[in-house]
Structure formats: C-alpha cells, structure tokens
Structure 1
Amino acid sequence: MTLELDGVTHRYGSERAIDDVSLSLDDGELVALLGPSGCGKTTVVQAIAGHLDPTAGRVSLRGADVTGVPPEDRNVGVVFQRSTLYPHMTVGENVAYGLESGDLPAEKVSERVDQYLELVELADRRGASPESLSGGETRRVELARALAPEPDVLLLDEPLSALDKGLRARLRDEIVRIQRRTGVTTLFVTHDQEDAMSVADRLVVLRDGAIAAAGAPRRLYESPPTQFVASFLGRSNELSATVDGESSTVAIGGTEVDLDVVPSEVTDAARPMVHVRPNDLTVEAVSQSGSTSSSARDASVRSDASADGERSDDRARPIEIRGTVTRVRDVGRRYDVRVEVDSGEVVTVERHRDEVSQSDRVTVSVAASDLSVFLVSE
C-alpha cells in the first residue's frame, strides 16, 4: 500500500472541512478524487502533502506514519490548480529546483531534468522562459518538475481546470500516458466527472467532506449506490414512483406498470425515486392511432430478448411512459430531447437523429435493468 488515510478529519475553527476520510492507493494505481466545489478535496490534498496537520486521523506513506512530518520530508509530488513555475527561471531550472536540495550531484540533476522533459515531450524547451509556454506546456513542465524527484505519490489538484475543452482532452491523455510510463501512484483531484471517468482506475466520490462512494468508474456510473452519486456522476433523470399494492402496479412518470416488470427495490421502498441516464432512454413519436412507430416496437422486441436469443424475464421488458416533447436541442454530437411525461415531471433523452419535434406526443421507453432506485429521504 503506497498511500493510506485513516479517519482523517480537519476543521477550520468550528467549520468541518473533511470528516473521517479513509482511503488507500495501491502501488501504481491512478485514483480520481471527485466531488463538487467546496466538498473538501483540496483539504485532503493538503493533508497528504503535509501543508496542514489534520485535526484527527493518520496519513501513511509506504506503511510509515507521516502525519506530523513536514512537506519537504515527504516524498510527495504536487501539481497545483494554478501554475507555480518560477518566472525568473528557465524551464530546465524549474524542473531541477526540487532536485538541487537533495544528494544528487550536478551532472545527475542535469540528466534527470533531460529525462523528465523528454518524458513530457518538451526536451527542446529546456532553456525557454515559463512566460513563453502555452497553457498545456506549462502543465507538462509542472508534471516533469513534480516527477523528477521520483515521488512515492503524485498529487494532481485540479490540473486541467484552466484549460479549454480540446486541450483538456489532450492533456488527460498525456497524464494517463505519463502515469502508465512511470508507474507512479497518483491521486487525481477534480470536480469534472468526464475528466475523472477518463483517467481513473478507481473513483472516490466526496460529498460534504465525507466519502459518498468508491469503486470502478463504470460500476459507479451504471449502478450508483446513492441518489447523490447518480445525479452527480454524469447526467441523470429523476422520476417518482408510486406503488399500489392492491392492484400490484407502480406508477412511474404517470404510467402504470406491473410490479413484476420493475426492480424489486421499487416495491421494497415506501417512497421510491427512480433515476435513469438520458442515453438509456429511447423516444418515439406516437401515431394518430395511439401506437408507437415500428422502430419502437422493434426496439421492444430486441430488449425483450437476451444476448443468446432466449427470451428474458419480465424485468427485461421495456417500460413505456407517455409524454409530450417540449424542446429539441441540437448540441452537435447529439440531440437532447426534453419530454414532459404525463406525471408533469421532465426527462431528457439523448438522440443521434432528429426524428421528433416540439409538441409531439411520444413514448419514452427504458429497460427496467437500467433503472436505479433510491429512497426519497436519501
């Protein structure tokens, strides 16, 4: 175990920043610490780096308790949200800065600088001034500087927040490449779900200073453990569900559905709330006769069959909810179709074709297996 936090708590006066945070990172693992602004992410980084002494709990590096150890005596590299390159130094001098106070002779320092500038593909910029660098180059120099001392742990605190979308995507790929090449244990801290999902082996979701969930990115996305995680980790629609025990039905979005079609969690909860991802919904126009189009029926048949061609159980049948399109928005790679269902609630459906229009009566369909069910009180 490279890094371990055990019950770390910190308060600024009477204000709680983080509360009983326990997490661990294995050797070579890239973990994303994800959460909204103000949830305590930076406090976690500062506790690991040694920039603050937590109110309670313990920070361990490679099995040694470093909770009271000063930052310069912890083998931790940090890339901060804002640039910290020294403007009066060249790129090479910035990378060498953290090495010159150690035991490396001058020629070894120079070799190490060359090694890590080559790793971030900036060997030709060694003599450049930081002011001449682009935003992406600045981030890569800071990565080289943080990695040059060959730390036990690399902390990336919102490293992409100041970059435009295209540059963010390219630098995300660079971070993954560099982390895989070096094998350094890395904690990637961000509020951006796409950044976290793109880079991490594992996600840790922080809410109000406490860990709300931890696990593989795809598992947390597809099977969120709480309503907060469902709504925060990517886009999600929310619908209330009302169970009628006498008729053995449940109303979802104003449409009655047999209980044997929905997940068992719906009937187990007194006041269930249903979440479903926009890309797990389909929408089809309702004809004047009141039936959906043939493509919708074909989709239902496909959903009703398992991968090997066998009929699946009732819970594989799609749930169909009627509503009216209130807006169709072209966002480039897809269309976002906003539908007010008959209960008055609103859902967004992702489409790749523009086949419905505002004011159309439609059927919104979803497989029961794509529903996540939570208690309203969560």
Structure 2
Amino acid sequence: MFQYFSRSKDLPFVFLGSLLLSLVAYPTLYETYTTLPFEGTYGSDAFHYYQSAYSAAFLGTDCTADLAPLHVCFYSNILYFFQNAKFIALIISFIVIYSFTTWLIYITTGRLISFLSINQNVTFSNSYRFYLLLLLYNPIIAWTLIRGIKETFVFLCFALWFYGVVKWLEGRYVIAFMFVVLSSVLSEYLKPLGSIFIFLPFILFILFKFIERSFYRKLLVISGSIILFMFFLVIFNSYITQISAHQDIYLKQSSGSVNIFSYLSAPLRFILGPGVIGPFRQLLYGDVFIVSTKVADWLIFIGGIIWYGSIFKVFFGKFGVFFNFNKNLFYVLFLVSLVGLFYVGVYSFAYLGQADTRHRAVVYVALAPAMAIIMSVRSIAKRKSGRGYER
C-alpha cells in the first residue's frame, strides 16, 4: 500500500482537503468554546467523551470501561499530554487520521477503477479524484471531525474494509482478510458488537461471490438477507438496551403514527437527511436544532447542498450510464458499498431514519467510492452474456 505514497497523484487532493479542514476548524472551535456551556465541546456525545476522557486522564478512571474505549483512551492521552492546547491537539490528530483515511480511499478507488476498466470494458475520466474530494470533504463530515467524536475512527474502519474487499477482488485474499480483521477489531472498540458492521457485510460479500453467477438472483438474495436481518434487529431491539434507549428518543421526535411504511421509508429519510430546508430554516430562525452555532449551521446547510448535488449527479447527470446498463459493473459497486448500505439499514430501522448528522457523515464516506466512480464513467461497453465479471 505504501508504495503509492511517493508517486501518488492523489496526495495533492488529500493535502487540499486537509487544508480546507484546518481552515474550517479554527472558527468552529472558537465559536463552540465561546458560546456553548459544555467546556469547549458541542454537548451531547462530544461532552460525554470529553468527560470520560478527562476522568481517565486526571482522575484515574479506566478508559476501557467506556462504550467506545478506543476513542476515549486516545482522547484521554491527548488531554494528558497537551493540557494547554487540548482541543487544538485533538482536532489536529483527527485531521491527520482522516487524511490517512482519505488517502487510503483514494488509492483503493484508483485500484478499483483499474480493475473495472480491465474486467468490465469501462472507461473512466480522472475526474474521480475531484468527485472524491467533494464527497469526502463534505462540510458535514468536517463538522463531524471537529466535534471530537468517535466517527473519525469509524471512517478509518470503513476505509480499511473497502481496501480489504478490493484486494479480495484482485485475488489478494490474505491481505484482504488481514485488513477486514483489523477493521473489525477497531470497530469492536468503538461500539459494542461494532464488528458486526464489518464482518457481516464481508461474509455476505464472500458468500455471494461463490454462489451461482446470475446477477439478479445474487442481488435478490443479498437484498433479502439484509432486509431479513434488519427485521430481526427490529423485532429483538427491546433486548438490546442501547438501541432501545436511542429508539425511544427518536420515536418521540417522529411525527404521526409509526407503521410499516415508516420503516420502509426510513432508509430514504436517512440518506436524504438532514436535507436543505431544515438547515436553511435553522439559519433564518434558529428553531430546528436544539444546540447549534452559526458556523455549524452553515456547514450543515452547505453540506446538504453538496450531498443533494452529488445524488443528482449520480442518478440524473449520469442517466446515460444507467441507460447503457452494465449489470456486472453495478454489481461490483454494490458489493464494495455493502458496509455503507448495511449501516444505512441498521440505523434506519433502529431510529426510523431520524439520525444525527454524524451518522449521515459515515454514510457519505462509505458510499463515496461508488458514487465517485459512477460520476467519472465515460462509457460502458454493453455486455450480453449476463455472466459475472471475469478476472
């Protein structure tokens, strides 16, 4: 992987994105520190992590006892060693981690494009680097990083998963398994049973790579398996304390009655949120978000516009690509997006699609490679065999 470092054309885009993050970080931190009563944090989860990390750093509590021990232990070390510039040091470290994450996504997307060009007779433009910059440095993602919450490590886990599955497509099975295991271990230290978000999509990925090659049958079986698992979570969510507690909160925020349509439409609400109208109203009247700052409101509003523009580009701007449909190409993109789709499914069914912006930031990162690839397609050679892609 590191052989690409010295000759990568992706580095200027990563450096540009990191610069943008740094420019946004200062006014965000300043306004948060001076206007909110949460000891320099944004409140909610950010405040919880700060309190847990502070206790571990100065009061002797065990950082591994938290529900996200990896994040809290990392946070506590930052507080201990950089007491006079704790939040600045934390954000700088997060920007460094995310820069590595985006660089890994860049080189992996490049590898996947090369794979698809050879095996699927598809030609791509180099514009995928710009589209990745637009998607991976969405202001909502920047806002999530600056809040100092665990999603920075979640981004890294998903990037490692993506690298692993692309290596599997290339036939490098040992390397692929090593990266997926690493991603699973890190995820387990970020959320109870967090490894499920990594291993279950990977198991589905492997399982349906070895069954009958019919595209539609594989797609049907995969989709059906995911939907059945989501319903399993919904039925038994009362036995999972954390999910039940969160669901109670989000169900109270939902308007109207909850029925089967509420669950079926939840993924769409999750993907399309927070939208543009709500954040715009927040800018005008300040009555949408319970806790907010002006900089954060602007980041969420601009981020919503960019996300909607990206969706429009994929589904309408590339209508010709969909018209000249290559099912094997889209099947591969579907496979490498499984981890993001699984994440959408779990949070949509658990919270009826009414999730925090940080959850949506994870989806933006997880789906960015497939979206950037679709947006950069020049032409697709239509294949008539109906067989799976060939190596």
TM-score for the superposition, normalised by structure 2: 0.22
Question: Which structure has the higher relative contact order (CA within 8 Å, separation 6+)?
Answer: 2
Whichever of the two has the greater Rg, that structure is 1
Q: Greater strand share, 1 or 2? A: 1
TM-score for the superposition, normalised by structure 1: 0.22
Q: Greater helix share, 1 or 2? A: 2
